[in-house]
Amino acid sequence: MFGLPVNAMPSKSFSILPLVFAIAAGALVPGSVSFAAPHNAAKAAAHKKPAADAAASAPVAGETAVAGGSPALPAKAWLLMDFDSGQVLASANADEPLPPASLTKMMTSFLVEQALRSGKLKKDDLVTVSQNAWCRGSSTESCMYLPLNSQAKVIDILRGIIIQSGNDASKAIAEHMAGSEEGFAKLMNAEAQRLGMTHTHFANATGLPDPAHKASARDLAILARAIIRDSADYYPIYAERDFTFHGIKQGNRNALLYTDPTVDGLKTGHTEEAGYCLVTSSKRNGMRLITVILNTNSAQARADETRTLLGWGFSNFEKETPIQPNTAVATAKVNFGKVDTVTAGLGSPWTVTVPRGQKLQTAVQLKPELEAPVTKGAVIGKVVASSNGKPVGEAPLVAQADVERAGLMLRTWQHVTKLFGK
């Protein structure tokens, strides 16, 4: 991740339009270096080490329910997830903890977004840039270029984290929210635990190398799904192609934002240890897929492998509706009610993602010993969809009508008949 030295900071905004046009024409794919100043690109090339290029050169085959298998990708770990259900459609080494580089910042931005949602933070709150957070112009890290001891609005900091992958922005907001980056890492790990990220541990807010700082492909997909689902007001920022702050215009390093109109996020990452990483979301014809590529050997490779995985996923999976809305799915027995039964149905439309051409089976599970009163809309069971004997999704079943509790005499009679098994 590269940027401008502080002493070379321009006073006027510079543009990346020529690069964007080149991308559109297929002339190049933007990577970590593509959007830095020209003299830094040369400097970055001079510092490039062979180890990063050699990472994950052997294709890794994945596991999937699709006949014929999934593509083999030259990444150390990768994953394809259906957004709606959270179902993993294909993966390789999905639970191996690996260095996530700046993919870490998805958790940093998510915590900021949730604090904005809850009111703990306001968009116009000012964040102070400490000596520790300040980016000193190193050519080996990405920066938003927040001046030392300056202040910036939370919403600008958030854009600096997501679009520019600013280490300075990440550290500054960490200190603002938790007093220190170490304290913020505790918040990150608590949130990871809440989300079910079982193979992840954060040591910092940036993703800079640390032996204890790891995340798995599955966990990063879980995090991406949470961002899309729970940060709807701020998720469009992940699709923004550039951001100008302090007179410096920097572009988003996610090449697919420039070449695939169905892609609307999320985050790139790169260090020598982590290789080139990318988490992506794409929505086509009502189906959203999330991909994770970890430890591949170039910015071009992470984009190409993501394209391959998305193309394969959309070609091999489809949305199915196991049960139509407003359909009576089952009849549940009700004890001690004015009526003995209540109809169970879907509370909302339900779709699942399955391999194309596979048939679905459904099985109903109702709550035993259901007692009145029952309120219309109350969950009284669930229906599970399976394909080839494997569960692929489930939906709650709700009562389609109110059931009032019976009077004392009727309840007494029902107790007696139940006691004698009648």
Residues annotated as catalytic are: 102, 105, 165
Tokens representing residue 197 in the block: 């990220």
Which residue in this structure is represented by tokens 């998510």?
110
If phi over 0 gives left and psi between -120 and 50 gives alpha, with beta otherwise, what is residue 56?
Answer: left
List 352's β-bridge partners, or say none: 320
User: pLDDT digit of tens for each residue in the chain (422 aa)?
Assistant: 333 333 333 333 333 333 333 333 333 333 333 333 333 333 333 333 334 444 445 787 778 878 778 889 999 999 999 999 898 999 999 999 999 999 999 999 999 999 999 999 999 999 999 999 998 766 667 999 999 999 999 999 999 999 999 999 999 999 999 999 999 999 999 999 999 999 999 999 999 999 999 999 999 999 999 999 999 999 999 999 999 998 999 999 999 999 999 999 999 999 999 999 999 999 999 999 999 999 999 999 999 999 999 999 999 999 999 998 878 999 999 988 889 899 999 988 898 898 998 888 999 999 988 988 999 999 999 999 988 888 888 999 999 999 998 776 665 665 666 666 65
Contact between 31 and 40 under an 8 Å Cβ cutoff? The reply is no
Q: Evaluate whether residue 1 is within a structural domain.
A: no
In total, how many domains does the chain have?
Answer: 2
Predicted structure pTM score = 0.79
Provide the residue range defining the domain that includes 374: 328-419
CATH of the domain at 391: 2.60.410.10
Of 317, 352, 382, the residue that ends a domain is 317
Q: Evaluate whether residue 286 is within a structural domain.
A: yes
Calpha distance 49→297 (Å, rounded): 11
CATH of the domain at 264: 3.40.710.10
The closest alpha carbon to 173, from 156, 189, 186, 148, belongs to 156
Q: Evaluate whether residue 68 is within a structural domain.
A: yes
Question: Alpha-carbon torsion 391, 394, 399, 405, what sign?
Answer: positive
Is there a single domain that holds both residue 312 and residue 346? no
- Burial label for 316, CB within 10 Å (0-12, 13-18, 19+), is buried
